[in-house]
Amino acid sequence: MTVPGAKGWRVLVTPTSYGKTDGRLKTELEAAVGEVIYNTTGKPLRSAELARLLPGIDGYIAGLDEIDEAALQAADRLKVIARYGVGVDNVALAAARRMGIVVTNTPAANAVSVAELTVALLLSLARRIPEASASTHAGAWPRLTGLSVAGKTVGLLGFGAVGRQVARRLAGFDCALLAYDPYPDEAAARALGVALTSQAEVVAHADFLSLHLPLLTATRGLVDAAFLQQMKPGAFLINTARGELLDESALAAALQSGRLAGAALDVFSLEPPDPANPLLRLPQVLITPHCASHTDGAMNAMGRMALDDCLAVLRGAAPHSPVNLA
């Protein structure tokens, strides 16, 4: 779909939720540029698909597309990639910088929504809510025993924007909060009653361990068999960050052996996951379709920040949230 506008710029928009809950994001963009091209595939674009669309594009509001160097080689006019979200691990940042393409993101725009889903998954694991609901729908009236979060220890690996919002929401649950972050916010930790400690201590003591780390070379595959062996027996793992942080086969083995009691995953290394992925067959695994940021609040905030930074760069102004500038 293309939309005529007032200026000469052509802008590609690939997140399918862009403007979904606030139509002004589309109308403002369409009024500001000459043409808007929307992604109609319903999913993130692969490198080859993106390469076919980028020629003649000036601005790009990007979802979880495969923005590698091969795709960028097709960009003959591109000035800005405004990521609709915080992660830029799918963007060839060095190549973009060499080509003079500014990359921006939307830090903290979805933090509250991701934190809300994290807490929802934690409570669902503790109280076996999906199992109770499914059994009751099937005509049973089960007497299921759950766990109280009060008195338990929740560990946060990563105490950035999302980790802090999770801690804020759990502060009233009378649980112990431990967190590890390589660059910890000590003032926030004190205010939220969070004990900052080492990664090893968080992993060893958490009854519920929640991942909130970015995907970096140092964190890719962090949660492997050795890591899982260090977790408290009977603990639960929650991942609303990046699927590539964990070894899915190792997690399946830890769950099948009873080493871990359960897991909740909003993200996978391959999305959607392969139907043969053993995690899909384990009843103690709760799975959601990478929807942590799919709320009206998060989509509106991400859309507004991406729109503003995209137009700022096209107009020759400084973006609010650049990630690849010197």
Q: Which domains does the chain have, with CATH numbers?
A: 2-109+296-314 (3.40.50.720), 111-287 (3.40.50.720)
Cite the DSSP H helix spans in the chain.
24-32, 47-53, 69-72, 93-98, 111-127, 129-137, 161-170, 186-192, 199-205, 225-230, 248-256, 296-314
Residue ranges of the chain with pLDDT lower than 70? 1-7, 326
Write down the pLDDT at residue 5.
41
Write down the pLDDT at residue 273.
95
Write down the pLDDT at residue 6.
46
Q: Which residues of 175-214 are buried (b: 16+ CB within 10 A; e: fewer)?
A: bbbbbbbeebbeebbeebebebeebeebbbbbbbbbbbbe
Structure token pair of residue 109? 């725009």
Nearest to 188 by CA among 154, 162, 206, 213: 162
The pTM for the full model equals: 0.87
Query: Which residues are CB-contacts of 115 (< 8 A; sequence separation ≥ 6)?
Result: 162, 165, 166, 168, 169
Neighbouring C-alpha atoms within 13 Å toward the C-beta of 305: 22
Q: Are 118 and 162 in contact (CB under 8 A)?
A: yes
Write down the pLDDT at residue 283.
95
Burial of residue 305 (CB within 10 Å: 0-12, 13-18, 19+) is buried
Rounded CA separation 155/152 (Å): 10
Is 131 catalytic? The answer is no
Rounded CA separation 231/206 (Å): 7
Write down the pLDDT at residue 182.
95
Query: Which is the catalytic residue, given 271, 281, 315, 320?
Result: 271
Write down the pLDDT at residue 324.
86
Is 242 catalytic? The answer is yes
List strands edge to edge, sheet with 10-13: 2-4, 35-38, 10-13, 59-62, 80-83, 102-104
Query: Which is the catalytic residue, given 97, 169, 205, 290?
Result: 290
Write down the pLDDT at residue 87.
86
Query: Which is the catalytic residue, given 30, 83, 242, 248?
Result: 242
Structure token pair of residue 169? 């929401």
Is 220 catalytic? The answer is no
Structure token pair of residue 227? 């890591």
Write down the pLDDT at residue 186.
96
